[in-house]
């Protein structure tokens, strides 16, 4: 199985800040990586596919990069609705695996 490790596990930031979350795969996955945002009690919302492509309707304040084993999600100009938990997901090979999540909190 491919293990996905996110860092940090939690992050405190202020409205207006720019933050970066990292996801590392235990082996190379090309660019077969997605990012999701999850609000409490809701289903995950897809943000990014193919490591750096925005899903339809997602604002450009979200950006992704990386290939192989190391990936990042950057969120610029944080707004109150951006404070949530973020997950990465690899779909390069079965079993599909997710990172453990990064909780983004308001400072």
Partner 1 sequence: QLQLQESGPGLVKPSETLSLTCTVSGGSISSGSFYWGWIRQPPGKGLEWIGNIYYSGITYYNPSLKSRVTMSVDTSKNQFSLKLTSVTAADTAVYFCARQERGYSYDRPFDYWGQGTLVTVSS
- The binding site for partner 1 (CB under 8 A) comprises 1, 32-34, 36, 42-46, 49-50, 55, 87, 89, 91-92, 94-101
Question: Which residue number, 1 or 70, has a Cβ lying nearer to partner 1?
Answer: 1
Q: Cβ 64 to partner 1, closest distance in Å?
A: 11
Q: Cβ 32 to partner 1, closest distance in Å?
A: 6
Question: Which residue number, 17 or 96, has a Cβ lying nearer to partner 1?
Answer: 96
Q: Cβ 107 to partner 1, closest distance in Å?
A: 22
Q: Cβ 16 to partner 1, closest distance in Å?
A: 28
Which regions of 1-107 does DSSP assign to beta strands (E)? 4-7, 10-13, 19-25, 33-38, 45-49, 53-54, 62-67, 70-75, 85-90, 97-98, 102-106
Question: Which residue number, 14 or 56, has a Cβ lying nearer to partner 1?
Answer: 56
Nearest to 2 by CA among 102, 97, 100: 97
Q: Please, what is the Cα angle at 4 between 33 and 96, to 5 degrees?
A: 60
Q: Which helix (H) or strand (E) holds 43?
A: none
């Amino acid at each position: 199985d491919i293990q996905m490790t996110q860092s940090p596990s939690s992050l405190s930031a202020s409205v207006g800040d720019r933050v970066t979350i990292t996801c590392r795969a235990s082996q190379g996955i090309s660019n077969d990586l997605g990012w999701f945002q999850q609000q409490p009690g809701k289903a995950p919302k897809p943000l990014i596919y193919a490591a750096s492509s925005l899903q339809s309707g997602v604002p450009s304040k979200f950006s992704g990069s990386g290939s192989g084993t190391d990936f990042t999600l950057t969120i610029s100009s944080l707004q109150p609705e951006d404070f949530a938990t973020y997950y990465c997901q690899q779909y390069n090979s079965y079993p599909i695996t997710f990172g453990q999540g990064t909780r983004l909190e308001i400072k």
